[in-house]
Structure 1
Amino acid sequence: MKLPKMKTHKGTQKRVKVTASGKLMLRKAVPKKMRKSKRTLYATRGDIQAHKTVEKAIRKNLPYS
């Protein structure tokens, strides 16, 4: 008897990167009302590491990472 396959959550897969060392990297959000131009905001946005409180929930959505 085979077990059912674990499914990867596609929304999480598109938003989270797993580094080679196993860290979860998220996109850094940009506030809606800012005085700087959008071009400079999106250029400096970058990635941030996922907080340890939400890491367990993210890893549950990405079973093969």
Structure 2
Amino acid sequence: MSNYKLKSSSSISKRFKFTASGKLLRHKACRNHLLQKKSPKRKQQLRKVISVKSVDLLRLRMNML
């Protein structure tokens, strides 16, 4: 029986980032297009990076490793 290396999902590894403490960070959605009708305050809030909810954390970790 040979040991195969599991491939990580490259799309997930581009979208998410691990912190030193083990949290996963992600960007907010709705910041790609149709920006002229969004207010400056809304666009500023969409720039922030936030951590992933604990509900989705386990599923994403399995795909990243």
What TM-score range do you get, normalising by the shorter chain?
Answer: 0.7 to 0.9
TM-score (norm 1): 0.75
Which of 46, 54, 57 in structure 2 is aligned with 1:55? 57
Quickly say closer, same or farther: Cα 1:44–1:29, change in 2 above 3 A: closer
Tell me by how many angstroms 1:2 deviates: 2.7
- Percent identity, please: 30
User: What root-mean-square deviation, in Å, do the aligned CA atoms of Structure 1 and Structure 2 show?
Assistant: 2.5
Q: Does residue 3 of the first structure (1) align with residue 6 of the second (2)?
A: no
**1:4-41 C-alpha deviation (Å, 9 max, x unpaired):** 0011100100100000111000111237685415xx71
TM-score (norm 2): 0.75
Instruction: Count residues with an aligned counterpart.
Output: 61
Moved over 2 A (4+): 30-35
**Structure 2: stretches of 5+ with no match in the other structure:** none
